[in-house]
A and B are shown apart, each in its own frame.
Chain A
Amino acid sequence: MKTSAKWLLRAAAVLALPGMFAGCASVKPWDRDLLADKRMQFNPCPMLHAIDEHIYFSKEASTGGQGVGGGGCGCN
């Protein structure tokens, strides 16, 4: 647990990169026309994404990315 907390703090520090937080002159309201598009999301089709996660989790060693938890399985 302790190493996880340390790791998360390290990750937070890395993520607080100038690119992400700085220049937070945010996008003005009148520039949000495209952003209101339903397709403008990281995960527009969650079910298809979940299927992919399951396939690759069963066939590869890596997991994770965007979600937490979910289910395990004895996939062989």
Chain B
Amino acid sequence: MQLEGGTGSSLRERLNKAALALLLVPAAAAAADLPATQIDTTTLYYGEQDRVQVVEPVVRATRLFGDGQILSVQLAVDLITGASPSGALPTGVPQTITSPSGKVSSTPAGAIPTTKFQDHRGGLDADWQTPIGKYFNSTLGMHASREKDYQSLGVTAKVSAEMFQRSLTVTAGGGYNWDSVFPVGGTPIGLSDGTEVTNGKNSKKVESFLFGVSRVMSRRWLLGLDASRTLERGYLTEPYKVISLVSFRSDSPIGQLTDNRPASRARSSLLASSVYHLDQDILYSSYRYYKDSWGIRSNTVDASYRHDLDDGWYLEPHARYYHQTAADFFTFGIVAGLAPPEYATSDYRLGQLTTMTLGLTFAFHVEDSPALWTVRADYIRQAGSGTAPENLGSASTFDLNPAINTISLVVGYSFNM
């Protein structure tokens, strides 16, 4: 009996061809080839409209060793220029302000006063990961960074254990930082007119703890829960920020007081993260609840959707929403004549605010090179939402919560050596 396909050999040929086509479909899980050393570089261009600009190149080298150990070293340089709000209130007339470093800024009427500054920062980070036995993994890390008026040294240690056939991972870790603040022009006394300063360094110690659980919920879904607690003690004030002193007799602020914050801060956060594998794409999402002993509470929701194209190229749109309440001692201004508070700040970053981010990452290879380029553009919009009390005088007629628009662009380049 003759089958379609003519003679035996062409039937076999057809079969052979069909079998090969089927067997050459890439298998779902392929054993990964470990590169010897991976180099990742990123350069950040960050620009707030009319405010701060930052350029930050970073380079990181990661080396994998045969027994599962991983060493990673990173160098970062930060170049920051621009102007940031001083904390003072806007007035009906143009103002000129001299910053502690001697820079003169002028502010138009009705605008939030800012002070110009310029800084550069260098940082070195290293961490070493090593497996212990079959189920445990440990990481030791160190950090050192320095800028004109701030120095930070830190160590971290973390241990994780895998259980239930690697379905559940439990992690515990801690870190300790010794920071030092030495403001340009000396450290002003808190809640004073700023003329009296002390010289020398102010120390700040930070202890942090982390406990996390992550679980493989199903074939497609990873879920993680992390709790962290941080205790800061020492000099926690922003030495360059001021608070406007207002009087009901005057239309404009009559003076300024320096910022003063408590000498301790306890922060707690709970983070829930999810990674979900759809048919081809992956959805990353997370929610974080944060609160601290300064009265600030915040909620953060973050989501990214990774869509892979061919050859390792991918597109990943991303969105983030953040909202925080104001610190207990946040104030838009202090009324003269009343007993001054023990702590106060007008730093908008401790006030009630909302941040929204929309971004897109695009990763691609150039020609046949295995090196990966990543370009990420983000639009960030941040606006305060607190209402100023009526006794601030004419200052409350101005927009105390202008929206700040920021563009952030990251260009990354990764390759193996």
Contact = CB atoms under 8 A, between A and B. Distances in A.
A31 to B, nearest CB: 4
Given A59-B349, A74-B181, A14 B412 contact: no
B298 A51 contact: no
Interface in B106-154: 117, 121, 123, 125, 141, 143-145, 147, 149-150, 152, 154
Nearest to B408: A55
Contact of A67 (B210, B238, B300): B210
A68 B152 contact: no
B9 interface: no
A58 B150 CA distance: 14
Nearest to B145: A71
Interface in B283-337: 284, 286, 288, 290, 292, 294, 296, 298, 300, 306, 308, 322, 324, 327
Q: Which of A70, A73, A76 has most chain B Cβ within 10 Å? A: A76
B28 interface: yes
Nearest to A32: B29
A49 to B, nearest CB: 10
B219 A11 contact: no
Q: Which of A1, A11, A33 has most chain B Cβ within 10 Å? A: A11
Contacts of A64: 208, 228, 230, 267, 269, 271, 288, 290
A8 B211 contact: yes
A15 B227 contact: yes
Interface bracket on A: 35 or more
Interface in A16-73: 16-17, 20-21, 24, 26-27, 29, 31-42, 44-45, 47-48, 50-51, 54-56, 59-73
Contacts of A66: 210, 212, 226, 228, 271, 273
B150 A73 contact: yes
A42 B224 CA distance: 8
A2 to B, nearest CB: 11
Given A8-B209, A33-B28, A73 B218 contact: no
B219 A27 contact: yes
Contact of B29 (A12, A15, A36): A36
B215 interface: yes
Interface string A4-16: 1001100110111
Interface stretch (B10-18, B89-97, B169-177, B247-255): B169-177
B374 A48 contact: yes
A14 B267 contact: no
A73 B212 CA distance: 26
B324 A61 contact: yes
A14 B227 contact: yes
A7 B268 contact: yes
B44 interface: yes
A15 B173 contact: no
Contacts of A65: 226, 228, 269, 271, 286, 288
A66 B84 CA distance: 29
B156 A69 contact: yes
Contacts of A55: 46, 380, 408
Contacts of A63: 230, 267, 269, 290
Nearest to A57: B349
A17 B46 CA distance: 41
B193 interface: no
B271 A26 contact: no
A62 B376 contact: no
B277 A68 contact: no
Nearest 10 A/B pairs, CB to CB: A69-B175, A74-B150, A26-B167, A11-B227, A36-B29, A33-B28, A69-B156, A68-B175, A62-B290, A31-B219
29 contacts: A7-B229, A8-B227, A12-B227, A24-B167, A24-B168, A27-B219, A34-B277, A35-B222, A37-B29, A39-B308, A40-B222, A45-B374, A60-B298, A60-B349, A61-B294, A61-B349, A62-B269, A62-B292, A63-B269, A64-B230, A64-B267, A64-B269, A64-B288, A65-B288, A68-B175, A68-B209, A69-B155, A71-B123, A73-B147
